[in-house]
Chain A
Amino acid sequence: MGACTKDISRFNDETKNSSNVAAETLFSNAVRNVVDGITTPNVNDNVFRFTVQHWGMATYEDEVQYDFSTRAIPERWWARMYRDVLADLKESARLVTADEKLDATAKANQLAMIDIMQVYTFQILVNTFGDVPYTEALDFNKPFPKYDDSKTVYLDLLTRLKADIAGLNDSGAGFIAAQDLIGQGSVSKWVIFANSLLVRMGMTIADEDDATAKSSFEAGDPKAISSSSDDIIFKYYGGSPNTNPIWVDIVQSGRLDYVSAKPLVNLLDSFVDPRLPLFYKPNSDGQWVGGIVGSVNTFSATARPSDKVAAPDFPAVLADYAEMEFYRAEAKERGYTVAGTAEEHYNKAITASIVSWGGTAASAATYLMRPEVAYTTATGTWKQKIGTQKWIALYNRPFEGWTELRRFDFPVLSLPVGAKSGFPNRLTYPGNEQQLNGTNYTDAASRMGDDKVEFKIFWDKF
């Protein structure tokens, strides 16, 4: 019997799970999780298509009416970004740093790419919640991290991003193509992505910090996306479990939950926008009837997301040419240094959007001649003109759409029927942060006055 007792610690040995993995596998997983997050329409995760009123719901109106707690959406969004994305990125960086065999240029490139994704993810968190844990985040030895001031975090993210851009060397290697789900092994693609992100992050804070916005835009613009072939897209596959999550919720689920929303349908309809049939398919009678936001809508009687959007391999877009051209138009209006006129950029943006959705250049040209579209004749200030068109072009990019809607304040959307609060300018902090990280939560909430959805993120001045 005594012989049996010699070494019992071997019983604890892992035989089914790996304790040594390659850095790029964690990187790929993080990229996939963040892209799934911004792409999915699942009512448990990403409800921003309702917030921007591109989609409505047939029957279950809670999230459309701004009830985000019944399904604990803040908790899931927060956990996805910190735990399923940022933690894996940090671990990936640790493994890259520790890899002594890795070529120095490749190592620098890989670390820069990982950091770009961290910056990308953190700006999502700041733009969602406001103050968030940053300096003390991602450290299991600091179980209850403090919340940092959102503007300080944001400016640090910009600094990091600029350093990352400086660290990228497109004559060297990055991650291998199969594991690089954004650049497919091309470092130059990452240079474009990082500069486009710099443009976006800079312009986002233009109302709050014009100087930083200007310098960031001007630094990023030359190397940012300059044609649709530069678009940063994420490819999904036709088969489970690697399909676009929209297909999972719309087609595979067999449910008929998601319908179009009147504000966008009616606007597209009145502008005779060629993207209407590309964004939506008509109701059972062939009519483009938009759903009432916040109200029960009869599915068969309402237009709904198009088959194109619901295709299993429909790609996700992280940044595209149309978006960049809108930034250039805006930069011009703000007096930043940029070639061309605001109108030229505006026209290029709209054309790029229509063409990339499957419309023709000719239909785009016709569209641009409509008085309510043409830059010179469209209603309102440049904010209203660009804001309205950008709101259309950011269809199916609900998170960016929400940011731009908060920033431009155009188009003006009515509250949904049965709204449980005012327009959500942010999400409240997760329920488990309230329970667990009470002291820091209370500090952050009191800095904002209260932990309410109506409170504006620091850059949202108007």
Chain B
Amino acid sequence: MFFSMLMLTGALAFSQAHTVSGTIKDAQGGAVPYATITEKGTKNATTADAKGNFSIKMKGNGDLMITATGFEANSVASSGDVVNVSLKTSTTELATVTVTTALGIQRNKNTLPYAAQQISGDEVSRARGANAASALSGKVSGLQIIQGNGIGGSTNVVIRGIKSLTGNNQALFVVDGVPINNANNNAINRTPPDQKRKDQTTGGGGYDYGNAAADINPDDIESINVLKGAAATAIYGSRGANGVIMITSKKAKRGLGITINSGIVESSIDKTTFPKYQKEYGAGYSDPYEKDGFFYFDVDGDGVKDLVTPTTEDASYGTKFDPNLLVYQWDAFDKTGPYYHTARPWVAAKNDPSTFYISPVSNNNSIMLDGVNDKGFFKLGYTRNDEKGVLPNSHVMKNIINFGAGYNIIDKLTATASVNYSKIDGKGRYGTGYNGRNVNQNFRQWYETNVDLKEQKEAYFRNQQNVTWNWSNPKDELNGLKPIYTDNYYWMVYQQYETDTRDRIFGNVSLNYKLNSWINVMGRISLDTYDELQEERIAKGSNIVSMYSRFNHGYTEKNYDLIANMDRNLTADINLKALAGVNLRRISENSMLALTNGGLIGPGVYSLGNSLNPINAPTETNTPRAVDGYFAGATLGYKEFLTLDGTIRRDRSSTLPEKNNAYNYYAISGSWVFSKNLQQADWLSSGKLRLNYATVGNDAPWGSILDVYNQPPPFGSAVLFSLPGTKNFSDLKPEYTKSKEIGLEMAFLKNRIGFDATFYHTNTTNQIIPVALSTATGFTSKFLNAGDIQNEGIELTVYGSPFKTREFSWDITVNWTRNRNKVLELFGDSKNLQLGSFQGGVSINATLGQPYGTIQGKTWGMIDPNDPTKIVPWDGSGEKLVKSNGRYYTTTTTNNVIGDVNPDWIGGIYNTVRYKGISLGFLIDIRSGGDLFSLDRYYGLATGVTVETTQLNDLGNPSRNTIADGGGVIMPGVTADGKPNAKRVENTYGTYGYAYNPNAAFIYDASYVKLRELVLSYALPQSWLTKTKIIKGAELSIIGRNLWIIHKNLPYSDPEENLSSGNIQGYQSGAYPTTRTIGANLKLKF
């Protein structure tokens, strides 16, 4: 169906007609760039270039309407071939900006009665990131973006806070009116051996495959409008409750245009986000082992016992380095290596794990063609983004083709179609979480500082063998020369990488019929379909059981829309816009996961057939769903300064019980452009007040009504079934979000400065959640309607142009967001809902009366201020209690709130400085407050990997010396008698880490200030380009992303680094360092 539209392009013939060209200037004679020139009464329009020049092929001989941001509209006759137009700076109105609102309806921002923030496609794509969603960070108020550092990883996109306790809180992505699936399909770690499915999002290992909105081509984005509140999005139905990222793809321009972008970037790690290793002590766990902290046996057969590195010990609390001490290290057991059976000086490694990271060059190329004439338009684009990761052998390739065309079949009937095809191929995505597949887990938590990474590299590449530093038993040459816990890292990335591929088509065909001058009817069928395959491997010869798994997943969503629109002036002062429509949504989704059982037969063959034991039945899912929606909306405008807007929608969803499956919701909003009533105040350029209220209903997750059984693999000939952990509920009702919003927009000094402020308040009630039960019920959770989360916040956007002359300008936009979130009700008397529990004994929770996302775990104790005989959990300010053995007292309870993942506020400062053809744009992205738990510190400090563990003590002696030798440390705090602790303890394994300190010691403030983007562009002068006669525009940019973390409080790591997108944030394990990219891009227009 889509491809039939291809034929229409053949019909695009460029008819000859009367052409008008000219220049648009301001009152001072300066060029007005990018004005829109429209032939009145038609859709025929064009855009002026940066110099204000335009050319338009006229359909008739009507007037031309010229509009430009910040200027009053002007209308001129089109008589003659050359028309020069002068525009007056707008003084009394908000700039006439049209924004794309829900269902793709264009509206004048002046009268919009709800919060919406639009940014241009250029702002998203100019830093040449591969992911449009990540590029929004700091650029829109109310929008929180969290992105991990893995290649092609997922992006957490939340607008106005977490609303649903356990459901999806991610914003809805809509491209040209069509919802795009943005699922994160990472949830399961498929690595055996225990066959128990662990959740990737809670640190159970596995890979971050990214979310599906990454398939949107940043180069095909004309603009992004973020609809933040329910009033703006209610018409989208349930999925709009979390806000909508409305993406309008590029529209073709008059004539034939070609745009080419070609760029390369080099990536490297930001070393401030990587551990600083101590260089004084080597392998071991504070144990003498067989002799002096070493294994002790005859290596070279001379009958004399030798000192051997304790290769099994993945910690660095061992023997002090001493270049005069000769030790047989891991390489003494590598037969092919230069140091086989050779002792080497006991010294710190020259090349620490940061040398594992590479600085690859990635490239990005795109070409966009477009054309428009009287009968229609087309566009065709191709983008190839070849992104290489900083881990060796990691790579994500995106190939995206965009096609769009429209044709005016008859005067009143227009057909349009768009198709996007994308193919994403990933290889070697980074392993995540607390899992051996994550190389950083070792680098940050379990490492021997005597291991030289470069020597490990050479050892692997000599024969592509798994030559590890972590021999399981070097004494046993026959069976012990294999990894005990850790493979050679190069073996890991070159032998057992994952691969994945996703083929996706999304697009739509529509017919638009103009019934009369004020009613048109649109019918549209849209499709979003993808198939993906994720294959994971563990090579034979690794430290764990070899394995191959394949996960096939298919998703198809079809939307059938029929929408009638009217736009009529009821009287000279009153305008009515109304719409009514029906949307039928049909989703089919299925998956199959199959994996080998018990290992692989032969090496190198990754197929199910190569399974050592017969494979267990694959796990299949089939979860179709349907939602029928009926909606209507009306907008009444009075003299362009009062607007009243209302929408209603009724949905029927297949996931709810039949008797409760229909639900209604509505939104009402109003705005008053009060500056129209204050025209005598000439300092005020414009002012608008907005007010709205909305409710949005939501349905249930698939399969939460009927009870079914789980089926484990059979035990011999015994068939097994089991009750699932979650009890379903046959009487679920829809859940509702209610939201209120008040906003004020003002601009001053002829629009030189202005702001847009919004206060909002939402409650999501009657939530459909699997409430956590005591497992003594026999279930972990049960679906119910329960819970209430409140979000209250302020969004503020301030913009201004401190300098503006013809040649020099500086524009600045500041976005600031403060959200306060509170769990008002859970289920019955329950006070806590555990969202995820993690390695290290901490959990992330929704706790009654607290913000969503409390971190709970063990904390220090302190003497009860009211009763000195009692010990109470540390209150955050008292003196920490030290036990008589000199170590901290730790609570036995694990339900102490020790952190809150929510930031106090987030913000972005976005600057653009222009001088003639040069422009410099940079974005400072800020997060203030919010906590995270670092498992990296929890273990890394215990194992003595980082420099803090070798510091000097209060006596000025090396703290790792024995106390007898002047070493040891004193833990700050008080003893049970209230006196300051004076007991010195040995600085051994665990002293600074988990073994002797509560979880609370590893909670860090996740604030940061980042120089997120910097783009320096130079547009080649038009005068040079005109000589070429072909090139219409050329711009060379130097671009940088994540250049500098200006401020952070988390040592050696990026506070933004996370495991995956989703509701559970605030936990780091094996965190990857920040990837810094610097590159150049050339943009040519023909």
CB <8 Å contact, B778 and A82: yes
CA A191 to CA B712, docked complex, whole Å: 29
Q: Name the CB-closest residue of B to A91.
A: B723
CB <8 Å contact, B482 and A90: no
CB <8 Å contact, B313 and A145: no
B1030 to chain A, nearest CB (A): 49
CB <8 Å contact, B483 and A254: yes
In residues 983-1028 of chain B, which contact A (Cβ within 8 Å)?
Answer: 994-995
CB <8 Å contact, A436 and B778: no
CB <8 Å contact, A143 and B774: yes
B713 partner, pick from A21, A241, A438, beta carbons under 8 A: A241
Which candidate, A4-12, A224-232, A353-361, A382-390, is the interface stretch facing chain B? A4-12
CB <8 Å contact, B721 and A435: no
Tell me whether A8 and B776 are in contact in the complex, defined as CB-CB below 8 angstroms, given that A1-B562, A1-B584, A431-B841 are known contacts: no
Q: Flag whether B578 is at the interface (Cβ < 8 A).
A: no
CB <8 Å contact, A143 and B771: yes
B832 partner, pick from A9, A237, A252, A436, beta carbons under 8 A: A436
Residues of B within 8 A of A362 (CB): none
Q: Flag whether B843 is at the interface (Cβ < 8 A).
A: yes
Residues of B within 8 A of A145 (CB): 774, 776-777
CA A417 to CA B995, docked complex, whole Å: 13
CB <8 Å contact, A11 and B625: yes
A178 partner, pick from B295, B707, B718, beta carbons under 8 A: B718
Which residue of B314, B485, B705 has the most chain A CB atoms within 10 A of its CB atom? Answer: B485
CB <8 Å contact, A300 and B295: yes
CB <8 Å contact, B775 and A82: yes
Q: Flag whether B6 is at the interface (Cβ < 8 A).
A: no
Q: Flag whether B303 is at the interface (Cβ < 8 A).
A: no
Q: Mark B637-666, 1 if CB is under 8 A from A, else 0.
A: 000000000000000111101100100000
Q: Name the CB-closest residue of B to A432.
A: B834
Q: Mark A155-186, 1 if CB is under 8 A from B, else 0.
A: 00000000000000000000000110100000
Residues of A within 8 A of B302 (CB): none
In residues 307-361 of chain A, which contact B (Cβ within 8 Å)?
Answer: none
B778 partner, pick from A22, A140, A242, beta carbons under 8 A: A140
CB <8 Å contact, A28 and B718: yes
Which residue of B627, B703, B775, B776 has the most chain A CB atoms within 10 A of its CB atom? Answer: B776
CB <8 Å contact, B719 and A28: yes
Residues of B within 8 A of A28 (CB): 715, 718-720
Q: Name the CB-closest residue of A to B830.
A: A436
CA A431 to CA B286, docked complex, whole Å: 31
A299 partner, pick from B473, B709, B782, B840, beta carbons under 8 A: B473
**Interface SS, A side:** loop
A70 partner, pick from B193, B482, B710, B841, beta carbons under 8 A: B841
B857 to chain A, nearest CB (A): 9
In residues 270-285 of chain A, which contact B (Cβ within 8 Å)?
Answer: 284
Tell me whether A432 and B841 are in contact in the complex, defined as CB-CB below 8 angstroms, given that A1-B560, A1-B582 are known contacts: no
CB <8 Å contact, A137 and B778: yes
Q: Mark A379-414, 1 if CB is under 8 A from B, else 0.
A: 000000000000000000000000000000000000
In residues 191-244 of chain A, which contact B (Cβ within 8 Å)?
Answer: 235, 237, 239-242
CB <8 Å contact, B707 and A87: no
Residues of A within 8 A of B713 (CB): 241-242
CB <8 Å contact, B705 and A140: no
Q: Name the CB-closest residue of B to A147.
A: B776
B834 partner, pick from A18, A301, A435, A451, beta carbons under 8 A: A435
CB <8 Å contact, A242 and B716: yes
A258 to chain B, nearest CB (A): 12
Tell me whether A253 and B624 are in contact in the complex, defined as CB-CB below 8 angstroms, given that A21-B709, A78-B776, A432-B834 are known contacts: no
B285 to chain A, nearest CB (A): 5
A32 partner, pick from B597, B598, B720, beta carbons under 8 A: B720
CB <8 Å contact, B312 and A256: yes
Q: Flag whether A115 is at the interface (Cβ < 8 A).
A: no
Residues of A within 8 A of B716 (CB): 178, 235, 237, 242
Which candidate, B362-370, B887-895, B904-912, is the interface stretch facing chain A? B887-895
Q: Flag whether B702 is at the interface (Cβ < 8 A).
A: yes
CB <8 Å contact, B718 and A59: no
B954 to chain A, nearest CB (A): 24
Q: Mark A32-61, 1 if CB is under 8 A from B, else 0.
A: 100000000010000000000000001100
A315 to chain B, nearest CB (A): 13
Which residue of A17, A19, A71, A299 has the most chain B CB atoms within 10 A of its CB atom? Answer: A17
Q: Mark B56-73, 1 if CB is under 8 A from A, else 0.
A: 000000000000000000
CB <8 Å contact, A452 and B827: no
CB <8 Å contact, B597 and A133: no
CB <8 Å contact, B475 and A284: yes
CB <8 Å contact, B708 and A18: yes
B723 partner, pick from A4, A88, A144, A428, beta carbons under 8 A: A88
B890 to chain A, nearest CB (A): 8
CB <8 Å contact, B624 and A11: yes
**Interface SS, B side:** loop
Tell me whether A252 and B545 are in contact in the complex, defined as CB-CB below 8 angstroms, given that A16-B620, A82-B775, A179-B719 are known contacts: yes
Q: Flag whether B480 is at the interface (Cβ < 8 A).
A: yes
In residues 837-860 of chain B, which contact A (Cβ within 8 Å)?
Answer: 837, 839-841, 843, 845, 856, 858
CA A82 to CA B723, docked complex, whole Å: 12
Tell me whether A8 and B654 are in contact in the complex, defined as CB-CB below 8 angstroms, given that A72-B837, A86-B778, A140-B777 are known contacts: yes
Q: Flag whether A446 is at the interface (Cβ < 8 A).
A: no
Residues of A within 8 A of B562 (CB): 1
Tell me whether A240 and B597 are in contact in the complex, defined as CB-CB below 8 angstroms, given that A143-B774, A181-B715, A252-B545 are known contacts: yes
Residues of B within 8 A of A152 (CB): none
Q: Flag whether B13 is at the interface (Cβ < 8 A).
A: no
Q: Mark B414-431, 1 if CB is under 8 A from A, else 0.
A: 000000000000000000
Tell me whether A90 and B778 are in contact in the complex, defined as CB-CB below 8 angstroms, given that A12-B705, A432-B772, A436-B832 are known contacts: yes
CA A5 to CA B653, docked complex, whole Å: 10
B708 partner, pick from A5, A19, A62, A301, beta carbons under 8 A: A19
CB <8 Å contact, B543 and A254: yes
CB <8 Å contact, A144 and B774: yes
B474 to chain A, nearest CB (A): 8
In residues 188-241 of chain B, which contact A (Cβ within 8 Å)?
Answer: 193-195
Q: Flag whether A437 is at the interface (Cβ < 8 A).
A: yes
CA A456 to CA B995, docked complex, whole Å: 26
CB <8 Å contact, A138 and B832: no
Tell me whether A29 and B721 are in contact in the complex, defined as CB-CB below 8 angstroms, given that A16-B621, A256-B484 are known contacts: yes
Residues of A within 8 A of B483 (CB): 254
Q: Flag whether A79 is at the interface (Cβ < 8 A).
A: yes
Q: Flag whether A266 is at the interface (Cβ < 8 A).
A: no
In residues 477-505 of chain B, which contact A (Cβ within 8 Å)?
Answer: 480, 482-485
Q: Flag whether B461 is at the interface (Cβ < 8 A).
A: no
In residues 665-709 of chain B, which contact A (Cβ within 8 Å)?
Answer: 702-703, 705-709
Residues of A within 8 A of B654 (CB): 8-12
12 extra A-B contacts, CB within 8 A, seeds A19-B708, A69-B858: A1-B584, A12-B705, A21-B709, A28-B719, A29-B721, A29-B722, A144-B829, A144-B830, A254-B484, A298-B289, A300-B476, A428-B892
Enumerate the 3 nearest inter-chain pairs by beta-carbon distance, A residue then B residue, closest first. Answer: A87-B778, A240-B598, A11-B654
10 A–B contacts from the bound complex (CB under 8 Å): A4-B586, A12-B702, A16-B620, A21-B709, A26-B723, A29-B720, A69-B858, A72-B894, A240-B599, A298-B289
| Residue positions of B touching A, CB distance < 8 A | 193-195, 285-287, 289-290, 295, 310, 312-314, 472-476, 480, 482-485, 543-545, 560, 562, 582, 584, 586, 597-599, 612-614, 616, 620-622, 624-628, 652-655, 657-658, 661, 702-703, 705-713, 715-723, 725, 727, 771-780, 782, 827-832, 834, 837, 839-841, 843, 845, 856, 858, 892-895, 994-995
| Residue positions of A touching B, CB distance < 8 A | 1, 4-5, 8-12, 14-19, 21-22, 25-26, 28-29, 32, 42, 58-59, 62, 67, 69-72, 75, 78-79, 82-84, 86-88, 90-91, 132-133, 137-140, 142-145, 178-179, 181, 235, 237, 239-242, 248, 252-256, 284, 295-296, 298-301, 418, 428, 430-440, 451-452
